[in-house]
Amino acid sequence: MRTVNDDHATRASLAAAWESVDVRAAGDFWCTVEDRRPGLLPQRDAPLFFTALGCLLIGDDAPANRAALLLLLGRAYRRFDLLPHTSTIGDALLATVARHARPLWTPQLATAAERALCRATRAIRRAAAQADAGPAWWHVEVIGHDRPSPNIAILTVRPWRRLPFQPGQALPVCTPRMPGHWRWLSPANAPRPDGTVELHVRAVPAGTVSHRLVHEVRAGEPLWLGPPADTGLSLDPASTGDLLLVAGGTGLAPLRALVEQVAAAPDGRRVTLVVGARTFTDLYDPIALDKLQCAHDWLTVVPALSDDPCAEPAERGDALTIALDCHQPDQEIYLCGPQAMLAAARPRLRALGVPATRIHLPHAPAPGVPGGGVQFPEKVDVCESS
């Protein structure tokens, strides 16, 4: 009878075997698939596909990363018509890992890997049934990497082909420095004529992907973006009510995109954007916000400074408290920021009589479901934006 400890030991052994596989394995995998089913998988996409499938196989503990892997693989299996060939792909994966993971690849581990592959394949089939046939990923180049603070980076990326997305959505991001590991980020802009996308990312403790995006990635490097997904923060096209947007930390990104969306097609609504930070110097995107406010008389940007003795009285406090002071009846309220702020938001707003239908919070992706999320840490399934 298997125990929990046995399962943990097996997963650890699988993970160790996978980590021992070197960069040449992806090419070996593609050659194996090509020998058995010529033309099944484009060679250029083989490294990304191989690492995503391998990470799903070993059973990533992070729900957000698992959701990203299933979203990508579900789309890939649909787009490349891979569902009839799951056995070919699975056999090629196991054969490749076995060749590159000797002597870690024991008969017992091979049996465990086959069981894990069956579970992964079932999950991919469910994801593919819910996916559309659009691209599974976009290759992009980093054309700008700014560091407004020691732990925050603003990345501007240019996709090789246009990325269709809506303000408020999120998408998984991966660097070749950490293949197979994805982090959900929201574009900080509405779609631009040149197709570029701006991403705000904070390096969080134990955040392997975020650390590399902030501290290691440089202009000229490639990244991969996954399909955009809903976060619960998109504007309702049927509503033209005034907006109260409440941002904490890099939770500003999707809300700034909403401001740009309104600016692109003004409809008479007024927008109040409350931006939270500890001190004025911690406001990492002040120039862009100032330009937006100067350009649009319907926009009011209110700093919320929780630990700045020099702040004006109306700006002194946490973002949620300042936002409650700014609240007007009939506003639609969108919030994105630290988990503590989000947890407190709904009860405090409901206590003011704000209907639940007017309160919009980011939701986390469910594995296998084309959902979304904003700034999810790699190890927990919550929104992190501070």
Residue 232 and residue 258 in contact, taking contact as beta carbons nearer than 8 Å: no
* Dist CA 27 CA 255 (whole Å): 41
Residues 6+ apart with CB under 8 A from 122: none
Model pLDDT, residue 102: 85
In the three-class reduction of DSSP (H, G, I as helix; E, B as strand; rest coil), residue 205 is classed as coil
* Dist CA 20 CA 13 (whole Å): 11
Residue 205 and residue 267 in contact, taking contact as beta carbons nearer than 8 Å: no
Nearest to 364 by CA among 383, 351, 345: 383
Report all structural domains of the chain as residue ranges with CATH numbers, in order of start.
4-130 (1.10.490.10), 138-225 (2.40.30.10), 243-360 (3.40.50.80)
Task: Find the Cα–Cα–Cα–Cα dihedral 247, 250, 253, 258, rounded to 10°.
Answer: -10
Nearest to 144 by CA among 152, 153, 135, 136: 153
Model pLDDT, residue 207: 81
* Dist CA 7 CA 17 (whole Å): 15
Instruction: Count CB neighbours of 187 within 10 A.
Output: 28
pLDDT digits (tens), the chain, 386 positions: 455 455 678 788 888 999 998 888 999 999 999 999 999 999 999 999 999 999 999 886 688 899 999 999 999 999 999 999 999 999 999 999 999 998 889 999 999 999 999 999 999 999 999 998 899 999 999 999 999 999 999 999 999 999 999 999 999 999 999 999 999 999 999 999 999 999 999 998 878 899 999 999 999 999 999 999 999 999 988 888 999 999 999 999 999 999 999 999 998 999 999 999 999 888 999 999 999 999 999 999 999 999 988 888 889 999 999 999 999 999 999 999 999 999 999 999 999 999 999 999 998 654 433 333 334 433 333 333 33
Across the beta sheet with 332-336, the strand order is: 299-305, 271-277, 243-248, 332-336, 359-360
The b-or-e profile of 309-335 (16+ CB within 10 A means b, else e) is eebeeebbbbbbbbbbebbeeebbbbb
* Dist CA 332 CA 245 (whole Å): 8
Residues 6+ apart with CB under 8 A from 385: 202, 247, 248, 249, 250, 251, 252, 253, 336, 337, 338, 374, 375
The b-or-e profile of 120-141 (16+ CB within 10 A means b, else e) is bbebbeebbeebeeebbbbbbe
* Dist CA 30 CA 36 (whole Å): 10
Q: What ranges in 171-277 are assigned the alpha helix state H?
A: 208-215, 252-264
β-strand partners of 377: none
* Dist CA 96 CA 41 (whole Å): 16
Instruction: Count CB neighbours of 155 within 10 A.
Output: 24
Model pLDDT, residue 10: 79
Task: Find the Cα–Cα–Cα–Cα dihedral 323, 324, 329, 335, rounded to 10°.
Answer: 50
Cis before 103 (ω within 30): yes
Helix-helix angle 46-58:86-100, to 10 degrees: 80
